[in-house]
Homo-oligomer: A and B are copies of this chain.
Amino acid sequence: MSGSLEYGVSLYSYTGEYGVTMTLDDCIEDVADLGATGLEILGEAHIEDYPNPPTAWLDAWFERLDRFGLTPTCYGSWVDHRRFPGRDITEDEAVQQLETDIRLAARLGFKYVRPKLGVVTADLEPHPVWEPATLRVLDLAEQQDVIICPEIHWPSVIRSKVVDDYIALIERTGTKHFGLLMDTGVFQTSMHHRSGGVPSRMGRGSARPPITPVVPVSDLEDVLQHVVHVQAKFYEIDDELQDHYIPWAEFLEVLVRRGWSGFLSSEYEGDYATGRAADQLRRQHALLRTLVAKETS
């Protein structure tokens, strides 16, 4: 089975530049300029007056897609279960949030919606509202022709209860509108420490996040049939066009051998120095295209 890999960029990559040195126009133009065809956004970051963008914003959105020849890929959303101080959101509120984003994503032409779910325990168990709320919006997803795809994201790993539960939901319901989003940060072989940005720390107490094991790329084989979108998370491509954090050759070998089709949507998460995102994205696309050309030749 022969797959087709396409190249995209998530505007998350421009976090250090967005609103500082780059407008939304600049970001979208940059994605097209570097030769990508897939455009990923974060609803709560990039849509003016989210979740109710003005007509002028919508007009500009479609005009840009057309002018730059870009296809909307994935729309990032959040289910913030601590949104109301003092209590967790209810199932109805979670459904409402999901519906809002599914409708808005579909309206903008996206095929994938990634809801980021809240966690309730130190070992990153998702808030229990995820499953009933998801089940209640599957029909809307079908009607709007989008696939809901929670993200497998560091420090979560592939072999975990949460991923098993996602797959069980797919198998139990037989839905075509739920899948997995694979963030390649899961496969990082060493930890990148970003420079720049405003210093932050977690909490006022002494709790610390868990130590995360290195996830072998081979773990991807077990779940790949359910992966509908890849966020090609990366931190730094060096001056020799090498990435010392993400094992791209191994990762792409699996995708090509298995004939996986879909978008590799770049998520730059490295240093914040001005101008670095645009340069690093070009380096990554040069690296990915070079490796894929080798795999497929």
Which residues of A are in contact with B by a Cβ distance under 8 Å?
20-21, 274
With a cutoff of 8 Å between Cβ atoms, the chain B residues found around residue A274 in the complex are 274
With a cutoff of 8 Å between Cβ atoms, the chain B residues found around residue A20 in the complex are 21
- Total copies of the chain: 2
A21 nearest in chain B by CB position = B21
A23 nearest in chain B by CB position = B23
With a cutoff of 8 Å between Cβ atoms, the chain B residues found around residue A21 in the complex are 20-21
3 contacts between A and B (CB under 8 A): A20-B21, A21-B21, A274-B274
A20 nearest in chain B by CB position = B21
A17 nearest in chain B by CB position = B21
Q: How far is the CB of A24 from chain B (nearest CB, A)?
A: 14
CA gap between A4 and B281 in the complex, in Å: 55
CA gap between A20 and B274 in the complex, in Å: 11
CA gap between A274 and B273 in the complex, in Å: 11
Q: How far is the CB of A14 from chain B (nearest CB, A)?
A: 14
Q: How far is the CB of A272 from chain B (nearest CB, A)?
A: 12
Q: How far is the CB of A146 from chain B (nearest CB, A)?
A: 35
A274 nearest in chain B by CB position = B274
- Across the A-B interface, give the 3 residue pairs with the lowest CB-CB distance, nearest first: A21-B21, A274-B274, A20-B21
Q: How far is the CB of A17 from chain B (nearest CB, A)?
A: 10
Q: How far is the CB of A30 from chain B (nearest CB, A)?
A: 15
CA gap between A120 and B163 in the complex, in Å: 77
CA gap between A95 and B12 in the complex, in Å: 53
